[in-house]
Amino acid sequence: MAATVIDGKEFAARVRGRVAEHVTRLKDSHGITPGLAVVLVGEDPASQVYVRSKGKMTVEVGMKSVEHRLEADTSEADLLALIEQLNNDDEIHGILVQLPLPGHLDEDAVINSISPEKDVDGFHISNVGRLGTGQKSMVPCTPLGCLMMLRDHHGSISGMDAVVIGRSNIVGKPMAQLLLNDSATVTIAHSRTNNLADVVRRADIVIAAVGRPQMVPGDWIKPGATVIDVGINRLDAPERGEGKTKLVGDVDYESCAAVAGAITPVPGGVGPMTIACLLANTVTACCRAHGVEEPDGLTA
């Protein structure tokens, strides 16, 4: 039997709908409008597309959207001064500095200059530490989106055996922590794991976030397992015409879908959830800043 396809596009639309409802309540009951500021340094084409999409969706859910576009040669001092200004702006509840930054800027220094309470990417060292110790934190958007989809599909993942393939600070490590916090049994694997196929085969849940196109074949997947594919890789697609490419994930979709119980597609799986969770994090940050009840089901 073919796997159930977990439609991230449809689920993300539902999440944005819940965010919009809560934004309306904040405005009507408390006179508060959540505000998100996005800072883009340089002219990376992919980042520009992503920032435009964020701004559009921020406005669609009724929040205040602010964009700061800086030249690629902007000094670190000027960037840090802008972040400090946003830290002190009471109308801004979330601050996101679009990565990657130009090479002359220290990403860690920039990220850690953002107020932890406004760090809606969840990358600040304080939020990383809070997440790791089970305290209330801002949670990275992509892992949060994966967790939301798993909860929606399974109800509870308590006691399930989960393997996270990938150990990045942005996805792999926080994903493992979120799964642990929901009482799953978690293994972090990676490209150098001995007998990786055997490790993956025992998992009820597989999170593929290793950044290698179609690395995980169907014969690595336990029959009936849930596969969450975080990978976004471009491959040449000569069948579509000269110079054309296609998006693929970190799992071989066709062979994995033939074995898995449920699977996310690429595109249309985890990707749409990232911006939806960014909006959810901004509303959560706003509620915490004003001592208002947080939205149900939009946090870890």
98 is catalytic: yes
Q: Annotated catalytic residue: which of 27, 48, 64, 98? A: 98
Compute the C-alpha angle 215/217/218, nearest 5°. Answer: 155
Residue 216 forms beta bridges with which residues? Answer: 251
177 is catalytic: no
Instruction: State how far the Cα of 124 lies from the Cα of 21, in Å rounded to an integer.
Output: 28
Q: Annotated catalytic residue: which of 7, 9, 44, 54? A: 54
Identify the residue whose tokens are 């701004």.
55
Q: CA 29 → CA 26, 32, 204, 288, distances in Å?
A: 5, 8, 43, 15
Of 192, 197, 237, the residue nearest 216 (C-alpha): 197
Q: Annotated catalytic residue: which of 119, 121, 229, 252? A: 121
Active site residues: 54, 98, 121
